[in-house]
Chains A and B, each alone.
Chain A
């Protein structure tokens, strides 16, 4: 395959739409991340256009496009779709080609995927209907304490202790925060407690055996989450390179494999 051949993955997620362009050597060439709007198709196109512009190529130059994420079936310019479970596990196995447990903390759901040494999924779990303990939880409660979402990581690192929350339910937690503020707790300690709530939600989903790799936008912006998870598990947790792009990157890998006949 020509090394100039370019493949794309589009991940239309609940919170953000991501595009990754890769070459035949599976190297990331360009990417785009933007908030998912009300039109999945338009957002995917805008995101693709931005990534293509960064790479200096056009859509017709691409050798393959695969779509993933909640809006995957709305991406009319994609050749095929794969679920986000498939794409996150594919991307994770690309960087960690051995038996791993993939944890994806997304905008609306958490996924835990056990992948064997050959990259095949052994089993997976998603959270229930409720988005408690996911990225949406952090976004909602950050607003309640007037903390810009991008500052949560640095605030959590300033915490002298963690204010343990009794719940990962957004509604209950908002009320609980009021009680903690009344009791004199400071924002950094509360923020640390909120991120710990997401960790607790992950831990109740699965025993998380073996080597754990974490992906998704939440950990990309809050790597402290991986450190907290590692603390609870008492072993290291790896963050996937370009963690927020993992779904899009995995979709691009599927596009490349389809072209080369690997899949």
Chain B
């Protein structure tokens, strides 16, 4: 009798993804080989850290946050987190941190599952953090610093930044430069300034292309979803500053531009356009993307995927421009700036509603906690929804409640639009 049964959803494959898988595998195999043969020094770096400096200084760079996302998306995280909790790392702190440490303790890694022959993350020679994501990264790296008996150095960011001043830039720039002596000591060679300029230039090209990829979602219908973005951002995070990341995003962008020309929508019969604020729920990407697609709703843009857009990077002024790039980030800005940012995003992507993911263990990346959804909802007469969950700890997520909330939200949007 039920005449409303949903049709199975078919996702449109992005062909460029095969190339991405290839270059990501190469990245991990290079790291593994370097760790085994000691042919190159390895630096662990925060995702929005001074990766350009490390590459220019001759290090291969590994990103624990990328590993955290892999632990989440493979759903290994929830079983591993308690191992870190038992060591005194609270279940309330970053679940990238706790799942990553749990992974280390148990000796299980999604890297070895994805790439046979690699035992896990490469042993570091140095750990370099930038607290612009949160303070947790610092404590995360100190754990490994103690375990591997290697130096931990980093940058302490400003937080709650409104207008960025010269003082802000100078202080971060000075901190980046201050990393050099230790890095040069470990690498055994002086920084080649021309190489730094080259790497910063490549990073800028990568980030410009990534921005174009994300902005293509402003088309109606959107050829790209937020869920695609969480996969496609891999090279922007781990290969930023390398030519292959630039090449990849040229390839991806061309494919998406062709989609626009051909009128190909990422979600069939796109009825509603939503914005995702906050962290992905890595272990539920498939379920969420399926539910939204069934509801003919495209979640098409996000704060998260835009976290690797650094328009300030300037190869002619590498230190100051890196400093500026790393404090222009939304995550370190004040509430007034964030609201202005959302104003522009709402306008650009022509969205019908916003979903705020209140990520239990990631307060820095959960922008619902100071009345933002209520303010934006009122300002734009736009429905907003807060989903309670977590980036990696699925114990904080209720599947059924989330599904009902999303379904009710789409009902509300349909009522509003009279469809």
Contacts and interface: CB of A to CB of B under 8 A. Distances in A.
A78 B412 contact: no
A81 B2 CA distance: 9
A129 B397 contact: yes
Contacts of B405: 126
Interface string B392-419: 0000111011001101100110011000
Interface string A72-97: 00011111111111100000000000
B408 A85 contact: yes
Contacts of B401: 109, 126, 128-129
Contact of B1 (A78, A83, A123): A78
A53 interface: no
Contacts of B334: none
Nearest to A79: B3
B415 A120 contact: yes
Contacts, number: 55
Nearest to A77: B1
Interface residues of A, number: 23
A129 B4 contact: no
B64 interface: no
B408 A128 contact: no
Contacts of A78: 1-2
A70 B407 CA distance: 12
B411 A85 contact: yes
B388 A124 contact: no
Contact of B416 (A84, A120, A124, A126): A120
B119 interface: no
A180 interface: no
Interface string B1-14: 11110000000000
Contacts of A86: 408, 411
A65 interface: yes
14 contacts: A65-B1, A70-B400, A76-B2, A77-B1, A78-B1, A80-B3, A83-B411, A84-B404, A85-B411, A109-B401, A121-B415, A123-B383, A123-B384, A128-B401
Interface of A: 65, 70, 75-86, 109, 120-121, 123-126, 128-129
Interface of B: 1-4, 377, 383-384, 386, 388, 396-398, 400-401, 404-405, 407-408, 411-412, 415-416
Given A70-B400, A85-B408, 14 more contacts: A70-B404, A76-B2, A78-B1, A79-B2, A80-B2, A80-B4, A83-B404, A84-B408, A85-B404, A86-B408, A121-B412, A123-B377, A123-B384, A126-B401
